[in-house]
Structures are given as structure tokens and as C-alpha cells.
Amino acid sequence: MKRKLFFMIICTALLVGCGVSKEKPGPAADSQDTLGTVDSSNASDPADTLDIVGSDASYGVFIGAGPEDLAKMLDYDTVVIDAQYFDRAQIEELQSTGHKVYSYINVGSLENFRPYYQDYQQYTLGVYEHWEDECWVDVSAAEWQDFILEELAPDILGKGVDGLFVDNVDVYYVYPDREIFDGTEKILKGLKSLDTYVVINGGDNFVTKYIDENGAFRDIADGVNQESVFSRIEWDDDTFSENDPKEQEYFREYVEKVADNGGDVYLLEYTTDSGLASKIREYCSQHGFKYYISTTLELL
């Protein structure tokens, strides 16, 4: 998942080496999250999303938004923001009108525009593909774990948000080592111990393995948000399409496995195709899942 475009533009010039990238294992590269990629060819006014594809008003993802975009969130019962760009009063403003607010937190990679980048650069593993301003981070490092659990998460929760939207658990997909698995588990359980709602964005490889080994999904999170179950981002020409049937089946099985193990499920899809949007709505209605269909990857 990615954040504000202007930060990405500013910080491209600041990029430094992040170590040696490892070969990616796993069933498909598309299992990594793609949130927030800017795509001008697909861009439309996000305020028109409900009208264009009939998205569910119960859930909206606004990772790229700032305080100036608060009005765009008012149609949605639950919203996901990056609390770094909001103060407590702005978050309380949303909550006072009946909105539940979750904040983005990145536990598996390190962006070079974050104020703590220089402090933890030494723990990076390799550049995040497609996102040269960001590096995967060694979640097994005690210093990184302590930072997430004792500084970053408490600071975010101190702004009064209702929960955490946890990104880049897919570090285990890229680096499938036992120490990375154990480090991810420790961070997630630590976040749960902070007495807040926890949603994992993606994380299919880690979550599936954890459930198979332990059978207790609620020990690590309350729910998952899965991107692009039905839709697909065509990176070569920056367009949207329908996902491959085998990929759809894989991710449906994943989110249904989470649901069967007591987890809440949220889908985030990218499409301007009303027919595909109808398919998404029908599936989520049948399973009791929440979903957000965005017509742009900017998530503003």
C-alpha cells in the first residue's frame, strides 16, 4: 500500500540503497498489496465512486487523503486514513458524526519520507518493487519491533483512532524465513495487546500459515483487508481489468478461510466496470463482507 503522491515525488531524490533484494517466492506476485498507486489514465473524481460503481457506503479507504479531504469521507461509516497527516481534533470531528476511523500503520517496510527513516534504515532488506522510495524491513530486529510497539503504534492510537490498518505483513511473502514469520507474529500480537481493533492488509501467506499452525486468527488480528480479489491492475499500461479466475479463486479461498476462523473481511477493489462492480457487490453480500470499490488508485 502506498501513500501520498507528493511525498513520493519529493522523496524520489532522497533514495539510498537498501540492501540486496531476494527472489520472490509464493504463488503470484500479485498477492502483494498495491494500495495508493497513482494512475492518471484511470483517474476519476473519487467522490464519484458511489455513482459510477455503486460502492458500499459502509467502508472507505482514504490512505492518500489529508485533512482537506474530510468532506469526501462523510458518506462512509468506517474510513481508513493515515493518521500521520491528521491531528486528534480532526479525527474526533469524524468520530463525532458517527464515523469509525482506522489508521494506516506500516510494519513490514520503511518509507524514506517518514521522519524516522534514518533511524531504522540499517534494518532494511531490499527495495520494494515498483516503489523505489520504500524498502522491506527486517521485522525480526528487536529494535524495529520495539519502535512499532512502544513508539509508533502508541503515537497513532494516542490520536484517538478506533483501530489499526496494518500494512506490509507481506514481508513474509518476499522473505519467507522463520525469523521473519516469528517477528511478524510478535508485532501483530503486540498490536493486539494494545487493546485496539487490528486489520491486516493482505498478508495471505503469513495469515494462512499462522491459521494452519495455530488455528486462532483472533490472536493476531480482528480482520483482513484484501485488495484486488476480483479486479486487476495492469502494470504495463496502467489500466484496470478483471482478475484471472485462478487468482480470484485463490483470494476468495483466503478471505473465506479468515472468515471461517472468526475474522472480519474487507475487500478493496479497483475498477470502473459496473458489471465487475456488481459481481463484487453480490459476492460480498452473500458472505457478509464489507467492500470499497475505488475508480482510482490514489485513494483520496
Q: What tens digit of pLDDT does each residue of 145-169 get?
A: 999 999 999 999 999 999 999 999 9
Average pLDDT over residues 59-67: 93
Number of structural domains (the chain) is: 1
Helices 274-287/245-260 angle, 10° precision: 30
pTM, entire model: 0.85
Is the predicted pLDDT of residue 219 greater than 70, yes or no?
yes
Helices 178-192/204-214 angle, 10° precision: 80
Assess if residue 81 is contained within a domain: yes
Assess if residue 3 is contained within a domain: no
Separation of alpha carbons 61 and 256, rounded Å: 21
Assess if residue 82 is contained within a domain: yes
User: Does 236 or 22 have the greater pLDDT score?
Assistant: 236
DSSP H or E segment with residue 224:
strand 223-227
Assess if residue 9 is contained within a domain: no
Residue 207's CATH number: 3.20.20.70
Q: What tens digit of pLDDT does each residue of 165-199 get?
A: 999 999 999 999 999 999 999 999 999 999 999 99
Q: Distances from the Cα of 77 to the Cαs of 58, 59, 80, 129, 221, in angstroms?
A: 5, 6, 10, 33, 21
Window from 1-5, 19-23, 29-33, 44-48 with minimum mean pLDDT: 19-23
Assess if residue 177 is contained within a domain: yes
Assess if residue 11 is contained within a domain: no
3-state SS, one letter per residue, for 84-152: HHCCHHHHHHHHHCCCEEEEEEECCEEECCCCCHHHHHHHEEEEECCEEEEEEECCCCHHHHHHHHHHH
DSSP state at residue 177: -
The parent domain of residue 29 ranges over 23-294
Assess if residue 16 is contained within a domain: no
pLDDT-based confidence at residue 25 (cuts at 50, 70, 90): very low
**DSSP-derived 3-state class of residue 218:** helix
Assess if residue 149 is contained within a domain: yes
**Amino acid at position 71, single letter:** A
Rg, the chain, Cα only: 18
Question: In residues, how long is the chain?
Answer: 300
Kindly report the average pLDDT of the chain as a whole number: 85
